[in-house]
Structure 1
Amino acid sequence: MNLKKYVELSSDYKSNSQKTRVFTEPFVAENFYCPCCGASVIGRKNNDKVRDFDCSKCNENYELKSKQGKSLGKIVPDGAYNSMLERIENNSNPNFYFLNYDKENFDVINFCAVPNYFFTPNIIIPRKKGIPNRPNYIMCNIDISGIPNSGKIFYIKDKKIIDKSKVLEDWNKTSFLKESHSVNSKGWILDTLKCIEKLEKTDFTLNDMYQFEKELKLKHSQNNNIQAKIRQQLQILRDKNYLSFTNRGNYKLK
């Protein structure tokens, strides 16, 4: 998919960030859909600082972050640090769209959605400096490398368009995380998902997961029984139909 026909919409703008916003927002509104229900998305015309799109059917909303380059990268600039943390704590942060495109021919390389429940405070990084004339107003970056792969729902990956049914399936596979209102409990589930992904296999054992004990202890220093917590998280993932127990101490992703 290509952005070129939308670029002329930004001709009256000087800032590169403004230009990118002006031509990527209509592109998304015209070509994509809500990954939760499949309905069209509607661009907001009032320059809402928190979200750029509303679903035309369900209650989901989305903020778009776009950049030039061959990959999405690890770090994406965002807005006010304290405001973002507050929204995460209150479960009021938006879902995100992330898009990157080739700066020479404007081909879209990757476009994905990330559900808001995949955001935790540890992936929100304060920038070292504030903004001019407001030194105490700290902006932030989003460390998207800290988001499990299961939380990155691709519409386009490496220029390949993903079937709509697959997009909807991938989004709803982890929708049970909406139930995790506690940042700590959600953090444990997300860290467990990251560990499972690092194994890079569909079938794995409890001993495979125990190898992450030290890593998880560093992230959850107040917990003194990491192995028991790992077993608990695997039980939750089984109950939510994310994986299955094949036999004692053995698991399989669905």
Structure 2
Amino acid sequence: MKFGFKEPTTSYVSGSQRARVWTEQWVSEWLYCPNCGNPEILQFPANLPVADFYCPRCNDQYELKSQKKAFGAKLANGAYATKMERLRSASNPNLLLLSYDATSASVRDICIIPKHFFVPEIVERRKPLAASARRAGWIGSNILLSRVPVSGRIHIVQGGIVVPRENVLEQWRQTLFLRAQPAETRGWLIEVMKCVDVFGDREFGIDEIYAFEPMLAQLYPGNHNVRPKIRQQLQVLRDSGYLEFLARGRYRRIQPKNL
């Protein structure tokens, strides 16, 4: 796989405009669909409100965000109301995060966050724009990347190195069970998955997960039965093949086969 970007056929004064064209061309030419394995994804016509690319086989959609520096804990996104509405639709896009080296015009990292990790809890409502702003009252959103579990950040390129395709597809398949979960319960599952992340691939006990009870109670103040809710999520994760049940109250995260 090549990492260099082609020079855009149209001249752009802005470096950000040039980078946008470079990155979009690169994704069009080299990226495959991690949802179904189709060897290409296609670009939508310009100026669609959310998605940038789609897979012609499975119809999954992708929103591309690219920048020179590494992505941090949160990512500025579009209008809050539009984002929340899109979360409830089947066409909600997966998120492509691409960081590049401007000097060499090459890809440094590509990480995909599957759409089934997008729940209301990871979308932050920004303050309305001031009355003096051109779009006074407009309310934007931030994607809280820090709220996404490790299993929800799938690297296709990392540090300039291509991750084998079979690894990417296996990681993707391992969390597809989330798409079948009702939207109102997925947030809890994802938060418990984040707690499981702390243990890596080592065995852990139910009491160790209970240590996260205060944090989960703060996230969900309306729930006064946090421990039973934790046990319920562990059972779903076990039945979905995400966790291995070892003995009474003992679990281990099942690592993707190719990793």
Is TM (by shorter chain) over 0.5? yes
Distance 1:10 1:17, change over 3 A: farther
CA contact (8 A) 1:113 1:153 kept: yes
CA contact (8 A) 1:243 1:251 kept: yes
What is the 5 A alignment of 1:79-98? 79-98=78-97
TM-score (norm 1): 0.91
Q: What's the secondary structure of 1:5's corresponding residue?
A: coil
CA contact (8 A) 2:5 2:106 kept: no
Q: Tell me which residue corresponds to 2:48.
A: 48
Q: Tell me which residue corresponds to 1:75.
A: 74
Question: Could you report, residue by residue, the CA deviation over 1:14-43 in whole angstroms, capped at 9, with x for unpaired residues?
Answer: 444433221101101111100011111011
Q: CA deviation at 1:203?
A: 1.3
Find the aligned partners of 2:136 and 2:19 in 1 and give their Cα distance. Answer: 27
Q: CA deviation at 1:122?
A: 2.5
Q: Tell me which residue corresponds to 1:162.
A: 163
CA contact (8 A) 2:50 2:63 kept: yes
The letter for the 1-side match of 2:28 is A
The letter for the 2-side match of 1:160 is I
- Please tell me whether residue 222 in structure 1 is matched to residue 212 in structure 2: no
Find the aligned partners of 1:165 and 1:201 in 2 and give their Cα distance. Answer: 20
CA contact (8 A) 1:81 1:138 kept: yes
Q: Tell me which residue corresponds to 1:121.
A: 120
The letter for the 2-side match of 1:24 is T
Q: Tell me which residue corresponds to 2:23.
A: 24
The structure with the largest helix share of the pair is 1
Q: CA deviation at 1:194?
A: 0.4
Q: CA deviation at 1:2?
A: 6.2
Find the aligned partners of 1:134 and 1:5 in 2 and give their Cα distance. Answer: 35
The letter for the 2-side match of 1:149 is V
CA contact (8 A) 1:243 1:252 kept: yes
Question: Could you report, residue by residue, the CA deviation over 1:200-247 in whole angstroms, capped at 9, with x for unpaired residues?
Answer: 343111111010010000011111111111111010001101111111
Q: Tell me which residue corresponds to 1:109.
A: 108
Q: What's the secondary structure of 1:9's corresponding residue?
A: coil
Find the aligned partners of 1:86 and 1:5 in 2 and give their Cα distance. Answer: 34
CA contact (8 A) 1:2 1:106 kept: no
What is the 5 A alignment of 1:197-236? 197-236=197-236
Q: What's the secondary structure of 2:72's corresponding residue?
A: coil
Find the aligned partners of 1:110 and 1:143 in 2 and give their Cα distance. Answer: 19
CA contact (8 A) 2:95 2:114 kept: yes
Question: Could you report, residue by residue, the CA deviation over 1:89-143 in whole angstroms, capped at 9, with x for unpaired residues?
Answer: 4454211111111232233221011111101223222334539422122222212
Q: CA deviation at 1:11?
A: 5.7
Q: How many residues align?
A: 251
CA contact (8 A) 1:91 1:117 kept: no
- Please tell me whether residue 172 in structure 1 is matched to residue 163 in structure 2: no
Gaps of 5+ in 1: none
Distance 1:130 1:14, change over 3 A: farther
Q: Tell me which residue corresponds to 2:249.
A: 249
Q: Tell me which residue corresponds to 1:141.
A: 142
Find the aligned partners of 1:176 and 1:222 in 2 and give their Cα distance. Answer: 26
